[in-house]
Every structure is written in structure tokens, then in C-alpha cells.
Amino acid sequence: MSKNNLVKYIENKFIKKNDFPLFSSGDTVTIFFEIQEGEKKRIQSFKGVVIKKQGKGLTKTFTVRKMSGEIGIERIFILNQPNIQKIEVNKKGKVRRAKIYYFRFLRGKKARVKNIE
């Protein structure tokens, strides 16, 4: 069994595929994920702009950036992570790049993404 076949076998055996809506860089999304604090479980949301999507197969990841006051917070999610309950696409954005790293350095009105209606 080759290395690629082994990876595919493990992915198919252990990773559960989730059905989430399609989204891309520049879209504003809300991710609802489960957090366990001791014995308690609760659902927390994270709303922000998708900066990048990377990877292939069942191990795809995406990075979401939100502004909390003056501070930018980025969080990386694995698409088929079992604690992600739901992903909502709030706005479709139009950007010209797949990875919008320049978005980190924009402030004020320049830090907006054009909407696709």
C-alpha cells in the first residue's frame, strides 16, 4: 500500500464528511461550533470574512478573520471538523485573489469587500 493510498484509506475510514454550503474567499460567513468547558457543552459562533481556503480532500482548511473593536482575530477551521455544527454564508463577496492576505492591513472603509447581489 503506497503512502497516498494509506492517507486516503485513513481519511475515508475516520473522517466524517459534512455537508456545508459552498463559499470562497471574500465571503462573510458565520461558523457555529461546539465548545466543551469541563462537563458543559455550548455552541459559539464566529462571524467574519474568509481570507483563504487551502488543502484538498477531507482535510481542507479555511481561515476566517473578524474585527473585535480595533483588533483583528483570525481563526483556522478544518472543514470536516466534528465540532462544527453549521456554516451560514451571510454575504457573497467579490475579490480578485484566492488568498486575500492584504485584507489584514486595510483599515476603515478600505477594509470592505464588494458584495455580489
Residue 107 pLDDT class (50, 70, 90 cuts): confident
Higher pLDDT, 114 or 16: 114
Task: Domains for the chain: give ranges and CATH numbers.
Answer: 18-101 (2.30.30.790)
Is pTM beyond 0.75 here? yes
Q: Are 117 and 53 in contact (CB under 8 A)?
A: no
The pLDDT of residue 79 is 86
Asked whether the predicted pLDDT for residue 11 surpasses 80, the reply is no
**Cell numbers given for 6:** 494509506
Q: E strand or H helix at 13, and its extent?
A: helix 3-14
